[in-house]
Amino acid sequence: MSEAILLVGGKGTRLRPLTLNCAKPMIPTAGVPFLTHQLARLRDAGVTHVVLATSYRAETFSAHFGDGAELGLEIDYVTETEPLGTGGGIRNVADKLRSAPDEPVVIFNGDVLSGHDIAAQVAAHQERGADVTLHLVEVDDPRAFGCVVTDESGRVEAFLEKTPDPPTNRINAGCYVFKRSVIDGIPEGRPVSVERETFPGLLSSGALVLGHVDSAYWLDLGTPAAFVQGSRDLVTGRIASTAVPGPTGEKLVLPGGEVAIDAKVSGGTTVGAGAVVGRGAVVEGSVLLDGAVVEEGAVVRDSVVGAGASIGAGAVLEGVVVGEAARIGARNELLTGVRVWAGAELAEGSVRFSSDAG
């Protein structure tokens, strides 16, 4: 195993307003862009060459990661000019790959935080001579996901769309190992879905598609609540990442961050560079991005406070996303599901806002 593809072209609409000015994989997560954790995992598993399949805000990836040398990797970039779907995005980067036809290429979705054993998945793929090997996870309620049905040997028999009565609790976890020749066989220059076209087509042709079950930590970071959970799990060490810029524990305070001596910061909170937590404030299980300010006596739980945003004295936030440079006035109460757009201002007062949106 020497190379991988990371699919990082999505717009991250479910994470707005965080993604209005930032590509989803570049949102700071436990102190570094989320993509850094994925790249570190690939490097630690033995990958040396990574191709990023970009689209939305494509320039931000190369500006931050460059040629990959600082991470001990070689990174190439390919940008989609038109949406190509998962399969089309994979095929679109084929010219940058170096693997021989029978060699494995690891493919990651750009919004999945996982602790599964990548090297073990590749080993299983090679030992069986598979064409594709999918990482599968078992979930408590598979009705919200597409399910993957396998036989006793692990061979995939069917891919099922969301159904109220799924026959299995195993779902596609968003990490694949492809034989290089399979990538070259995906139609070029048009949208292709791996779930609806590539994988079913392989099954109908008799190709060997395997399911590799690994029940390690797994989380889709597509929603604000999941993003906050993933960040705090990285900070507390529930899932390990060599990219976390500091020891794991109750909090991660980046250089330049300030926490008042009587403030309580806990639950895997990240305090970004230049961010300030004022006297008597309580911040639990949250993400304060660079330059954010939580003023005296404010309470912030399970929330994201965007870069340069401020939370007024005595305000309460629980399960809230505050966009970049927004201003929340003193003594306001914002509850689960509220999203404050970048640059918005909420006047000082004792106003209670809540929402069922997630």
Please check whether residues 36 and 173 belong to one and the same domain.
Answer: yes
pLDDT in tens, 238-250: 999 999 998 889 9
CATH of the domain at 345: 2.160.10.10
Please check whether residues 154 and 201 belong to one and the same domain.
Answer: yes
DSSP-based three-state secondary structure for 36? helix
Q: Is residue 141 part of a domain?
A: yes
Model pLDDT, residue 1:
56
355 pLDDT above the threshold of 70: no
Please check whether residues 60 and 192 belong to one and the same domain.
Answer: yes
Please check whether residues 277 and 198 belong to one and the same domain.
Answer: no
* Cβ atoms of 61 and 68 closer than 8 Å: no
Q: Is residue 233 part of a domain?
A: no
Q: Is residue 82 part of a domain?
A: yes
| Mean pLDDT of the chain, nearest integer | 90
Model confidence at 236, pLDDT cuts 50, 70, 90, reads very high
Closest CA to 17 of 281, 252, 338, 351: 338
pLDDT in tens, 89-109: 999 999 999 998 999 999 998
135 pLDDT above the threshold of 90: yes
- Which of the 8 DSSP states describes residue 195? I
Model confidence at 358, pLDDT cuts 50, 70, 90, reads very low
Say how many domains are in the chain: 2
The owner of tokens 């109460």 is: 333
Please check whether residues 200 and 263 belong to one and the same domain.
Answer: no
Report the Cα–Cα distance between both ends of the chain, in Å, rounded: 39
Instruction: Say how far apart CA 168 and CA 317 lie, in whole Å.
Output: 39
Please check whether residues 173 and 285 belong to one and the same domain.
Answer: no
Please check whether residues 131 and 263 belong to one and the same domain.
Answer: no
357 pLDDT above the threshold of 50: no
Please check whether residues 271 and 193 belong to one and the same domain.
Answer: no
Model confidence at 167, pLDDT cuts 50, 70, 90, reads confident
Residue 200's H or E segment, with its range, is: helix 199-204
Pairing of strands 304-305, 269-271: unpaired
Q: 82-101: buried (b, 16+ CB within 10 Å) or exposed (e) per residue?
A: eebbbbbbbbbbbebbebee
Please check whether residues 211 and 255 belong to one and the same domain.
Answer: no
| Claim: this prediction has a pTM higher than 0.85 | yes
Last residue of a domain, one of 172, 199, 220: 220
Please check whether residues 189 and 289 belong to one and the same domain.
Answer: no
Please check whether residues 64 and 191 belong to one and the same domain.
Answer: yes
Please check whether residues 97 and 144 belong to one and the same domain.
Answer: yes
Q: Is residue 230 part of a domain?
A: no
CATH of the domain at 85: 3.90.550.10
Last residue of a domain, one of 220, 239, 271: 220
Phi, psi of 301 (to 5 degrees): -130, 135
Q: Is residue 358 part of a domain?
A: no
Last residue of a domain, one of 205, 220, 235: 220
String of DSSP letters for 231-261: HHHHHHTSS--TT-SS--SSEEE-TT-EE-T
Q: Is residue 216 part of a domain?
A: yes
287 pLDDT above the threshold of 90: yes
Q: Which domain holds residue 261?
A: 250-353
Q: Is residue 238 part of a domain?
A: no
Q: Is residue 106 part of a domain?
A: yes
136 pLDDT above the threshold of 70: yes
Model pLDDT, residue 321:
93
Cα torsion 9, 192, 94, 72 to 10°: value is 30
